[in-house]
Amino acid sequence: MASKSPPIVLVTGFEAFEGDTSNASWEIARALDGWSCEGASIRAVELPCVFGAAIDKLDEALAQGRPELVICLGQASGRTEITPERVAINCDDARIADNAGRRPIDVPVIPGAPSAYFSSLPVKAIVRDLRAAGLPASLSNTAGTFVCNHVFFALMHRLATSRGLAQTRGGFVHVPGLLSLALATQVEALRQLIRTALLVREDVRESGGQIH
């Protein structure tokens, strides 16, 4: 009898953007490719930083196998911590153009879809465990309105509406640029994040609110 394939954790990162030669999100994702955690195998996929095309690439990755978890990463250069995102909104509103020159303004990511989706990752438990390990982390309540949120919303809509993905959990995590936090530290943080996401089903009830 053939042995059963291990569960898959799909981790995505973005290509370099806006003149940069690398993107922390993809550097982290590809460093994790093939790693095993709690019996699951990590598979990394690079997404284009392009509205529409990024969702197409995500759909291709989802179609290759039914992952147990999907963790999409994006670089937020102004941040200095690992920040799991709480909510995705159904709005593309680009301050600048993407890598294909596209700049949608005030249009839905998916017409007719709900206004927002919450992450199905245990975002507060992730922050708790990262901090306990001495790694910088905080909860974020906005993924912006650029390609990161675009992918986050599309992912959560797929998980909510596709019968084949009904048991899959997922979400989005912003990471700092590599000048703000070393790659080795970020890879270590994502290893802990994945472990927590696999083991924790019910999120903890701890304050993650913000005044501003």
Q: Which residues are catalytic?
A: 85, 148, 174
Residues 6+ apart with CB under 8 A from 192: 129, 130, 133, 135
Beta partners for residue 11, in sequence order: 44, 71
Per the CB < 8 A criterion, the answer to whether 154 and 206 are in contact is no
The letter for the amino acid at 147 is: V
- H helix intervals, 17-146: 24-32, 53-63, 123-132
Residues 61, 202: Cα–Cα separation, whole Å: 26
Per the CB < 8 A criterion, the answer to whether 158 and 55 are in contact is no
